[in-house]
């Protein structure tokens, strides 16, 4: 190797997607290993609209591991970050000792610099930790030459992150073992399976969520007997029905299970003591709107789901997107001089009949929704080949425009 390239960092950049659960994860049986009390199932969203990008550089000249998130240096000693770093290095060492020549022995001892950015505001309440830890683990694995099953490591960063390791429709099988080795994500169907399915993120509020997921679910496990009933007696059957609905592209079953599961998750939040409220008046108006819309047509055309915040995520089919968005715009009139109301996949204009508006019959809530992101199911994490896209420069520090 020429002298001047010896200390040049080994740099890899990857992207990873957000996922939105249709059967929710809520509650752990092991806090450290992040093992859930029930299985869950999600749709991976397309990275053209929502993604995390992470660059990892490793070099002999780095003095310590360091991390920058959305332009700011953060503490590398965060326990979950440390778990992911430790587990990837452990796997790399194991591969090396098993004789895998793709694992570079010299890199194993090097420190890493990590730089990560989201292309969506963290405050929008989307699952940034899922995309973030999935991207971190996927990128670290490339730097250390590790391949194969990585969802068990992503899970130790954030539970829902294991589902962002795959595209399309993904289940996180809860597993039974105490060591968590069987608590892994698995693709149910790829993103190409159901091309008509569409996802609309209705951003209701830019406020931060009141109770974080990690502590919220801890209190729920400790105090909610509804959560125990849900995990033991409801979710197992729902997982089977949901997987079947996805295989069959049976939208009405998929949609009804999605809404019921979101409602039950929020019921367990109310059953938590003291109770946790993630839904607000805008969320409740979206719930009413969806049910009235479906009732008007006499079929389930649209479904809502809510995570640990007030934003609605809508699942529907391509043929209904234009009209439904027009309905949302009618009942949540946006600011006239504000930015773009609909972001993401283009949506054609549509006319809403008086009859439909009357059937829904709600009082409009001006500015209740700040914008809509129109997207669909998408692929799992990807390597970015273009070196110009690296977030870290050849000195191993964040480029100035990040
Ligand atoms: C889900 N959520 O299945 C559920 C539904 C929120 C509501 O996964 O403690 O950020 O890092 O494992 O993964 C949010 O929980 O929690 C979540 P940790 P995580 O998407």
CATH number at residue 250: 3.30.70.890
271: Cβ below 6 Å to ligand 1?
A: no
**Co-location of 25 and 151 in the same domain:** yes
CATH number, domain of 36, equals 3.30.230.10
Structural domain boundaries enclosing 32: 3-191+380-389
Residue of 18, 23, 25 best suited for mutating to test ligand 1, as the one with most atoms within 8 Å of CB: 25
For the chain, the domain total comes to 2
**Co-location of 166 and 153 in the same domain:** yes
In a domain, 396, yes or no: no
Task: Please give the pLDDT value at position 245.
Answer: 99
Taking 3-state DSSP, the helix, strand and coil percentages for the chain, each rounded to the nearest 5, stand at 40, 25, 40
Nearest to 230 by CA among 43, 40, 44: 40
**Co-location of 136 and 247 in the same domain:** no
Nearest to 238 by CA among 220, 263, 216: 263
**Co-location of 179 and 218 in the same domain:** no
In a domain, 251, yes or no: yes
161-194: pLDDT as tens digits: 999 999 999 999 999 999 999 999 999 999 999 9
Task: Provide the token pair at 386.
Answer: 């273009």
- 45 and 83 Cβ atoms separated by less than 8 Å: no
Residues ≥6 apart with Cβ < 8 Å to 278: 209, 210, 211, 266, 269, 306, 307, 308, 309, 310
**Co-location of 73 and 127 in the same domain:** yes
40: Cβ below 6 Å to ligand 1?
A: yes
Q: What is the pTM of this model?
A: 0.96
**Co-location of 182 and 226 in the same domain:** no
300-309: pLDDT as tens digits: 999 999 999 9
- Spell out where 81-144 has E strands: 111-118
pLDDT greater than 60 at residue 2? no
In a domain, 402, yes or no: no
What average pLDDT does range 112-116 have in this prediction? 98
In a domain, 401, yes or no: no
In a domain, 400, yes or no: no
**Co-location of 172 and 208 in the same domain:** no
pLDDT greater than 60 at residue 123? no
Task: Please give the pLDDT value at position 90.
Answer: 95
306: Cβ below 6 Å to ligand 1?
A: no
In the block, which residue shows the tokens 């950049």?
13
pLDDT greater than 90 at residue 101? no
Task: Please give the pLDDT value at position 200.
Answer: 98
Q: Determine what percent of the chain is predicted with pLDDT higher than 70.
A: 94
In a domain, 395, yes or no: no
**Co-location of 164 and 216 in the same domain:** no
Residues ≥6 apart with Cβ < 8 Å to 395: none
**Co-location of 8 and 88 in the same domain:** yes
pLDDT greater than 60 at residue 39? yes
163 Cα to the center of ligand 1, angstroms: 10
pLDDT tier at 206 (50, 70, 90 boundaries)?
Answer: low
pLDDT tier at 4 (50, 70, 90 boundaries)?
Answer: very low
Residue of 160, 165, 230, 307 best suited for mutating to test ligand 1, as the one with most atoms within 8 Å of CB: 160
In a domain, 258, yes or no: yes
- 304 and 286 Cβ atoms separated by less than 8 Å: yes
**Co-location of 46 and 118 in the same domain:** yes
In a domain, 332, yes or no: yes
Task: Please give the pLDDT value at position 3.
Answer: 42
241-277: pLDDT as tens digits: 999 999 999 999 999 999 999 999 999 999 999 999 9
What average pLDDT does range 20-44 have in this prediction? 98
**Co-location of 268 and 145 in the same domain:** no
Task: Please give the pLDDT value at position 1.
Answer: 42
Helical (H) or strand (E) element with 375: strand 371-375
308: Cβ below 6 Å to ligand 1?
A: yes
Q: What is d(CA 197, CA 191) in angstroms, rounded to the nearest whole number?
A: 10
**Co-location of 116 and 44 in the same domain:** yes
Nearest to 246 by CA among 49, 44, 60: 44
């Amino acid at each position: 190797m020429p002298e001047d390239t010896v200390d040049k960092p080994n740099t890899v950049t990857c992207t990873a997607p957000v996922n939105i659960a249709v059967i929710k994860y809520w509650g752990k049986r092991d806090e450290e290993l992040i093992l859930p009390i029930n299985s869950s199932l999600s749709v991976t969203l397309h990275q053209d609209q929502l993604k995390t990008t992470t660059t990892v550089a490793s070099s002999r000249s780095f003095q310590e591991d360091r991390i920058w998130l959305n332009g700011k240096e953060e503490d590398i000693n965060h326990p979950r970050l440390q778990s992911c770093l430790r587990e990837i290095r452990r796997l790399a060492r194991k591969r090396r000792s098993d004789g895998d020549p793709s694992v570079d022995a010299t890199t194993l001892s090097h420190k890493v610099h990590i730089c990560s950015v989201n292309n969506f505001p963290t405050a929008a309440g989307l699952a940034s930790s899922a995309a973030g830890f999935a991207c971190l683990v996927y990128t670290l694995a490339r730097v250390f030459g590790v391949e194969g099953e990585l969802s068990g490591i992503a899970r130790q960063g954030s539970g829902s992150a294991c589902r962002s390791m795959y595209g399309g429709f993904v289940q996180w099988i809860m597993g039974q073992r105490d060591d968590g080795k069987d608590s892994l994500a698995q693709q149910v169907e790829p993103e190409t399976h159901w091309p008509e399915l569409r996802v609309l993120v209705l951003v209701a509020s830019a406020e931060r969520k009141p109770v974080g997921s990690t502590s919220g679910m801890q209190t729920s496990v400790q105090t909610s007997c509804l959560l125990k009933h849900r995990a033991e007696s409801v979710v197992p059957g729902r997982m089977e029905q949901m997987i079947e609905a996805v295989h069959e592209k049976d939208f009405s079953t998929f949609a009804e299970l999605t809404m019921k599961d979101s409602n039950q998750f929020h019921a367990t939040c109310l059953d938590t003591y003291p109770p946790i409220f993630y839904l607000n008046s805008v969320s409740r108006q979206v719930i009413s709107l969806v049910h009235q819309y479906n009732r008007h047509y006499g079929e389930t055309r649209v479904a809502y789901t809510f995570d640990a915040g007030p934003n609605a995520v809508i699942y529907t089919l391509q043929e209904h997107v234009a009209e439904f968005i027009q309905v949302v715009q009618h009942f949540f009139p946006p600011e006239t001089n504000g930015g773009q109301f609909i972001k993401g996949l283009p949506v054609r204009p549509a006319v809403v009949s008086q009859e439909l508006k009357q059937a829904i019959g709600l009082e409009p809530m001006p500015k209740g929704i700040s914008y809509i992101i129109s997207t669909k199911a998408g692929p799992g994490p990807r390597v970015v080949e273009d070196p110009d896209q690296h977030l870290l420069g050849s000195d191993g520090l964040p480029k100035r425009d990040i």
